[in-house]
Amino acid sequence: MDQFLQQTLSGLANGAIYASLALAVVMIYQAIDHFNFAQGEMAMFSTFIAWQLIAWGAPYWVAFVVCLAISFIGGMAIERIIFAPIHDAPALSHVVVFIALTLIFNAMAGFIWEFTIKEFPSPFPAELPFETKLIGPHEVGIVGITLIMLGMIYVFFRFTPIGLAMRAAAASPESARLVGISVKKMLGLGWGLAAAVGAVAGMMIAPVVFLEPNMMLGILLYGFAGAVVGGLTSPGGAVVGGFLMGVLEALAGTYVIGSELKLTFALVVIVAVLLFRPAGLFGRVVVQRV
């Protein structure tokens, strides 16, 4: 029983990371109808920036905030420089650009910071204020920070005029323009936010998996699985899907398949969902009028 609880809780901690990445992927998917394969590498690169700031002597939370700001601006820049010009290009062009971005970020990180693994600090105290063997302090911190971030994003999209405008611009761009919303600016904001969310995920997971250019590969796969399970049209669903994948991964790893097949497991889930319930658990079925 202890093992089961322990695995579930640690699954929730990893799930928080998957949920963040799933949310970032879905935010961009809603805006441009494409799957950002480079989301993980962008997050990894952001984490290296934070690592560098800390190495230069910045206190953790200063580095955290500066890293978010840089990631936000970087995300906006990627949209403006790379994706705005190919906005109307076919899906394949987008896929190629996403793959290119993935490779570019990976190689750039290796070039600047080398491929050796680095330790990344955890900002949380080394001991929990209460006695438990079920969950570690960093895991509690991951879940806490993620929930705070998700709450802020929810409030932003639900209750602020800009958040509402971003949803409107993604769902009906033409109507949005007709009420004076600059869809271009909203797209840029969306990319910035997604990049910042990814950066948080990267900084939270780096103390667990250690920092190196390939650290996000498996994590992004689970993030994708979370997005697909929850439904690509439902940000809330993607978050739930992310947490679900974390728990499934932990339990399946412990009781069923062992650790060797963990990545395969994520892919199997993706394929199974796409086969049997393509809209995901919470997504809408998209009907195309012809």
Q: Which residues bind other proteins (CB under 8 A)?
A: 161, 164-165, 167-168, 171-172, 174-183
Q: How far apart are CA 93 and CA 99, in angstroms?
A: 10
Q: How far apart are CA 289 and CA 267, in angstroms?
A: 31
In this complex, which beta carbon is closest to other proteins, that of residue 30 or of residue 146? 30
In the complex, minimum distance from the CB of residue 177 to other proteins, in angstroms, rounded to a whole number: 4
In this complex, which beta carbon is closest to other proteins, that of residue 138 or of residue 167? 167
In the complex, minimum distance from the CB of residue 160 to other proteins, in angstroms, rounded to a whole number: 11
Q: How far apart are CA 224 and CA 11, in angstroms?
A: 16
In the complex, minimum distance from the CB of residue 285 to other proteins, in angstroms, rounded to a whole number: 14
Q: Alpha helices, DSSP H only, in the chain? A: 2-32, 39-55, 60-78, 91-113, 137-159, 161-171, 173-178, 183-209, 217-230, 235-252, 262-276
In this complex, which beta carbon is closest to other proteins, that of residue 146 or of residue 234? 234
Answer yes or no: are the C-beta atoms of 173 and 183 closer than 8 Å.
yes
In this complex, which beta carbon is closest to other proteins, that of residue 275 or of residue 286? 286
Q: Which residues contact 91 (CB under 8 A, 6 or more apart)?
A: 34
Q: How far apart are CA 11 and CA 188, in angstroms?
A: 33
In the complex, minimum distance from the CB of residue 162 to other proteins, in angstroms, rounded to a whole number: 9
In the complex, minimum distance from the CB of residue 185 to other proteins, in angstroms, rounded to a whole number: 9
Q: How far apart are CA 27 and CA 29, in angstroms?
A: 5
What does the block give as tokens for 152? 């802020």
What does the block give as tokens for 111? 């070039």
In this complex, which beta carbon is closest to other proteins, that of residue 92 or of residue 178? 178
Give the CA distances from residue 214 to residues 19, 152, 162, in Å, rounded to whole numbers and listed in that order.
19, 29, 35
In the complex, minimum distance from the CB of residue 183 to other proteins, in angstroms, rounded to a whole number: 8
In this complex, which beta carbon is closest to other proteins, that of residue 186 or of residue 199? 186
Answer yes or no: are the C-beta atoms of 229 and 25 closer than 8 Å.
no
**Residue 190 identity (one-letter amino acid):** G
Give the CA distances from residue 226 to residues 1, 40, 116, 180, 237, in Å, rounded to whole numbers and listed in that order.
26, 14, 29, 35, 9
Q: Which residues contact 290 (CB under 8 A, 6 or more apart)?
A: none
In the complex, minimum distance from the CB of residue 192 to other proteins, in angstroms, rounded to a whole number: 19
Which phi and psi angles does 211 have, rounded to 5°?
A: -90, 125
In this complex, which beta carbon is closest to other proteins, that of residue 159 or of residue 276? 159
In this complex, which beta carbon is closest to other proteins, that of residue 11 or of residue 188? 188
In the complex, minimum distance from the CB of residue 45 to other proteins, in angstroms, rounded to a whole number: 32
